[in-house]
């Protein structure tokens, strides 16, 4: 985890990148809201159902793991359990070694990013190519995804063209990239050969259905289908919380997944894999492997963070987060950005390494209000702040100032006097300005953001005026 604070990253972030993140988020927000409103008179009931399905799955995960293993084995699949990221990488390496594989294609998978699978395979001399268009360009640029749904969220057409000219050495100098389809054509031309030459295809799993042993992936490009059907071997990587009991449960969640992620009614491709090729099948892998990955999930059971396991990776929280909209995904320093990353990352890699992430929040509550499975993200970020404080991981000055604020806040008369004094003083210092760009004793705040000038007195003054009917 890079020692990279969100604020410091944001100060160096290019304005065009910030604008791209903001524009893409804003454009998608209306589409996502519209998709839910047009099809469901009571979308909140569906969200409550989805949350209940996920909560039931997590609370009975041991039962459904056993059922899933039995179903997978019955389908001819090979099941591998991985406690850690290293275990998962070794399991994949063993499968590849037995298959004599040297060329791999991958469909976008956040769990493979989490376990650093590509880096591991590179040390084994195995070529692994990302086939999602966004992931493909990210791989060419040797960057990490900035978004869990749209990994190249932060790039524009000119960035793609530059990378193609640098990495596709056979590209004619006079090749024109005037439209988006030119980029798509170039990428797909290269990837087609990769698909045909691959020995093994690796995918993630949006859901794993216990009753049938089916893994489910959703894509918009068709690369997931090609990754599963063309190579001799298919490996599905699934973190253990992706289990759902039945097909009906999976379908209920799928009705929300695309709508919450991109505003689509359904992804272009929704693919169910249930075992390898059977007699009479025209395509499909000869071998089918499922690697079930824990990597710290078990440590979340029975804690304040268990509800985070309900997450279906739709990215709705980051799409609506004002902090993510300013900083972009790379500022979060690891695989999972935005509010869900601010909760999940400290859980998986430790609050000592990622304790600053829960502080990258305004607690506006937008993330919780749009979450399709009703995860209380602000509450859990607050729990992480408490743990950080208790373990003295926050700077001494922060702890001291918070202690002073708590002491004042517990004395209503003193608190009201202090806030009146602060509002009055800031009003005098403002001298007609709408915001402070710098402020004594608040350099840590104003260094990365402006501070609006208070207007209309304190909250208590305005409340009292309202009660008087003013």
Does any domain span residue 71? Answer: yes
State yes or no: pLDDT of 14 exceeds 60.
no
What local confidence, expressed as pLDDT, does residue 469 receive?
Answer: 67
Does any domain span residue 244? Answer: yes
Confidence of residue 364 (pLDDT cuts 50, 70, 90): very high
Does any domain span residue 16? Answer: no
Question: Residues 417, 291: one domain?
Answer: no
Does any domain span residue 20? Answer: no
Question: Residues 236, 103: one domain?
Answer: yes
Does any domain span residue 395? Answer: no
Residue with tokens 């902090």: 323
User: What is the average pLDDT across 377-397?
Assistant: 88
Confidence of residue 67 (pLDDT cuts 50, 70, 90): very high
Question: Residues 425, 289: one domain?
Answer: no
pTM for the structure as a whole: 0.85
Question: Residues 291, 166: one domain?
Answer: yes
Which residue range is the domain that position 441 belongs to? 412-467
State yes or no: pLDDT of 395 exceeds 90.
no
Question: Residues 75, 224: one domain?
Answer: yes
Does any domain span residue 168? Answer: yes
What local confidence, expressed as pLDDT, does residue 423 receive?
Answer: 85
State yes or no: pLDDT of 10 exceeds 60.
no
Question: Residues 133, 264: one domain?
Answer: yes
Mean pLDDT of the chain: 88
Q: What is the per-residue DSSP string for 8-22?
A: HHHHHS-HHHHHHHH
Quote the percentage of the chain above a pLDDT of 70: 90
State yes or no: pLDDT of 257 exceeds 50.
yes
User: What is the average pLDDT across 357-382?
Assistant: 93
Question: Residues 278, 419: one domain?
Answer: no
- pLDDT tens for residues 448-462? 677 788 877 788 888
Domain limit, last residue, from 239, 266, 295:
295
In whole angstroms, give the CA distance from residue 470 to residue 468: 6
Does any domain span residue 260? Answer: yes
CATH code of the domain containing 80 = 3.40.50.10420
Q: Name the 3-class secondary structure at 84.
A: coil
State yes or no: pLDDT of 119 exceeds 90.
yes
Region of poorest pLDDT, from 280-284, 414-418, 465-469: 465-469
Domain limit, last residue, from 247, 262, 295:
295
Does any domain span residue 401? Answer: no
The answer for residues whose C-beta is within 8 angstroms of residue 375's C-beta and 6 or more apart is 51, 307, 308, 310, 311, 340, 368
Counting the structural domains of the chain, the total is: 2
Domain limit, last residue, from 258, 275, 295:
295
């Amino acid at each position: 985890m890079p020692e990279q604070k969100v604020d410091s990253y944001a100060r160096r972030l290019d304005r065009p990148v910030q604008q791209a993140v903001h524009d893409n988020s804003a454009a998608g927000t209306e589409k996502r809201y519209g998709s839910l409103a047009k099809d469901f008179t009571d979308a909140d009931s569906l969200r409550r159902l989805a949350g209940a399905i996920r909560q039931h799955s997590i609370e009975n995960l041991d039962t459904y793991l056993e059922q899933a293993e039995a179903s997978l084995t019955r389908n001819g699949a090979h099941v591998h359990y991985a406690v850690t990221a290293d275990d998962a990488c070794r399991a994949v390496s063993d499968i590849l070694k037995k298959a004599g594989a040297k060329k791999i294609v991958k469909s976008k998978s956040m769990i493979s990013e989490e376990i650093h699978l590509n880096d591991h395979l590179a040390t084994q001399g195995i070529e692994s190519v990302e086939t999602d268009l966004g992931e493909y360009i990210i791989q060419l640029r040797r960057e990490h995804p900035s978004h869990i749904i749209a990994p190249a969220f932060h790039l524009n057409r000119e960035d793609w063209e530059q990378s193609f000219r640098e990495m596709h050495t056979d590209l004619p100098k006079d090749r024109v990239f005037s439209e988006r389809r030119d980029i798509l054509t170039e990428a797909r031309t290269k990837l087609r050969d990769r698909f045909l030459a691959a020995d093994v295809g690796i995918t993630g799993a949006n859901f794993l259905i216990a009753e049938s042993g089916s893994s489910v992936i959703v894509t918009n490009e068709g690369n997931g289908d090609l990754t599963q059907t063309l190579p001799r071997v298919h490996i599905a990587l699934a973190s253990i919380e992706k289990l759902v009991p039945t097909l009906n449960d999976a379908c209920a969640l799928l009705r929300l997944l695309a709508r919450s992620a991109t505003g689509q009614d359904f992804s272009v491709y929704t693919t169910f894999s249930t075992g390898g090729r059977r007699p009479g099948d025209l395509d499909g892998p000869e071998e089918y492997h499922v690697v079930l990955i824990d990597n710290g999930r078990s440590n979340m059971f029975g804690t304040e963070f268990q509800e985070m396991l309900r997450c279906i990776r739709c990215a709705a929280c980051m799409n609506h987060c004002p902090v993510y909209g300013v900083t972009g995904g790379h500022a979060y320093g690891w695989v999972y950005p935005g509010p869900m990353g601010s909760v999940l990352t400290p859980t998986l890699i430790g609050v000592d390494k990622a304790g600053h992430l829960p502080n990258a929040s305004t607690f506006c509550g937008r993330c919780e209000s749009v979450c399709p499975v009703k995860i209380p993200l602000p509450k859990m970020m607050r729990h992480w702040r408490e743990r950080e404080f208790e373990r003295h991981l926050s700077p001494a000055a922060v702890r001291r100032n918070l202690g002073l604020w708590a002491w004042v806040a517990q004395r209503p008369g003193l608190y009201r006097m202090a806030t009146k004094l602060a509002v009055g003083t800031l009003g005098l210092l403002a001298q007609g300005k709408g915001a402070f760009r710098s402020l004594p004793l608040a350099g840590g705040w104003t260094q990365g953001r402006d501070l609006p000038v208070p207007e209309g007195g304190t909250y208590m003054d305005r409340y009292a005026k309202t009660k008087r009917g003013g």
